[in-house]
Structure 1
Amino acid sequence: MAMILASSERIRLRVSRPHDLDYVLQAENHPDNRDFINQWTKEQHRNAQEDTDTVHLIVEADLESCGYAIIAGLENPARSIELKRLVITEKGQGLGRDVLRLVKRCAFNRWSAHRMWLDVRSNNPRALHLYESEGFQVEGTLRDSILVDGEYVSVTILSILESEYKDV
């Protein structure tokens, strides 16, 4: 039986299982996603699944996988939760926004977060726009902080505080 973490009219978030990892790797490496996501090995994803400080989720629409998310910091004493990954394979349908809203709801209502944060690559304006439109504030930019295919890429850090969160 799948453990459903949260759901809306359109999607549900369920805890991933070992057999989901092939899909996760495929989604991560898809041409629409790979330039924006750090590539992990199956072992790294398996470790995230087993980590009690992390929840590794599959996003489903109509019971079909359409993405995944990783949330870390569940045991953080400062109640600072990180949205480590949000990957959607079905673009342009608003699924990313729906997932983000469910993740925020879980962070603030289920896990009593004080702060939720994430980072986004500077070459991903679509994601940056989504996060800002959902109440995340830019905290700063880590200039040329990661190396992707021989090119340096900057990363923007964003967060939303408990006092700024509005359950939509």
Structure 2
Amino acid sequence: MNISTTIFEESPRIRLRQTNLCDLDFVIRVESREENKKFIIPWQRRKHESAINNEDIAHLIIEDKETNYPLGFIIIAGLQNPNQSIEFMRIVITEKGKGVGREALKLIKKWVFEELKANRLWLDVKVNNDRAKSVYELEGFSIEGTLRECLKIGDEFESLFLMSILKSEYEYNKRN
């Protein structure tokens, strides 16, 4: 799937736009904050650069439409997946609890299902990330299973929930 525009989706409050190399200082700074890095595995700059230049990945900035101020970022992978199954790899928000993440997730679902014509949007989330898991469930994602102790962080092992939403579920929820 060829992505030809800079702006992907927007709501009255936020827009999702393609990440530029000049955005990477922001991305790395936000990703490395203690409150964020406990729920993700931060990437090196080169990995972000590679993702920006990869046609199979959408690396997006979430920004305030009024101020153009960045509020976070999102990484989506599998845009060229022949099985129409797209991975919601990462979302990092600068200020939690203000609805920005949920609003961005709604825009991603719309883009993935309506523009990219995907059949499935999936993600994994650390089992101790209750806030994210709750938002995903509110947005129609279902837990498919648990990847038990699949991540080694220091001397500890952590588990992930595998969650997804299908196009038919997205369409049903949109109608009701």
Judge same fold: TM > 0.5, yes or no: yes
Shorter-chain TM-score category? over 0.9
Shift, 1:4, TM fit: 1.0
Q: Which amino acid is the alignment partner of residue 101 of structure 1?
A: K
Find the counterpart in structure 1 of residue 74 from structure 2: 69
Return the alpha-carbon distance in structure 2 between the equivalents of residues 8 and 30 of structure 1.
27
Find the counterpart in structure 2 of residue 153 from structure 1: 158
TM-score computed with the length of structure 2 as normaliser: 0.92
Return the alpha-carbon distance in structure 2 between the equivalents of residues 148 and 130 of structure 1.
24
TM-score computed with the length of structure 1 as normaliser: 0.96
Q: 1:28 aligns with which of 31, 36, 42?
A: 31
Runs of 4+ deviating beyond 2 Å: none
Quick check: 1:145–1:155 contact (8 Å CA) kept in 2?
Answer: yes
Shift, 1:155, TM fit: 0.4
- Deviations along 1:65-105, one digit per CA (max 9) or x if unpaired, are 01000011110000001100011011110001000000000
RMSD (CA atoms): 1.2
Identity over the aligned pairs, expressed in percent? 46
Shift, 1:108, TM fit: 0.0
Find the counterpart in structure 1 of residue 84 from structure 2: 79
Q: Which amino acid is the alignment partner of residue 127 of structure 2?
A: S
Quick check: 1:145–1:153 contact (8 Å CA) kept in 2?
Answer: yes
Unaligned runs of 5+ in 2: none
Quick check: 1:105–1:167 contact (8 Å CA) kept in 2?
Answer: no
- 1:16 pairs with 2:19: yes
